Amino acid sequence: PERAMVDITDVQVTEKEEEERAEATEANEESKEQADRLYRLYLQSRILDKLSQFTALKKLHLGSDPKKDLSEENVLHFEISKVEEEKDELLRRFVQMRRLETLKIDGANYSRKIRRMRS
């Protein structure tokens, strides 16, 4: 009888440790999600910045005098394409982050379901 009592205590401690570990993991995931949200906001602001740069360069280019130096126009074309590439890269990263976030949310929901089923 005493032996059985000790085993029950061990099991209870293990369950409590598991709950604490799960809570710590959840808190860690929340802080990661917060960091991801901040990074996403940063990416969004960079994308908007690049879009406004792109728009300004396009307006500058469209409003430029056709008699202007051809090399200046080439420089402008280069700047426009460079900004466009950066914008595309930022958008690509943003889309990847959104996909990862969706996967993380699905994974977190799945692990919560498993935890509920165990208890």
Kindly report the average pLDDT of the chain as a whole number: 76
The domain tally of the chain equals 1
Structural domain including 111 reads: 2-118
- Select the more confidently predicted residue: 73 or 110: 110
d(CA 116, CA 118): 5
pLDDT tens, residue by residue, 17-63: 888 888 888 888 888 888 878 887 888 888 888 878 877 877 776 66
pLDDT score of 68 more than 70: no
Write down the pLDDT at residue 92: 86
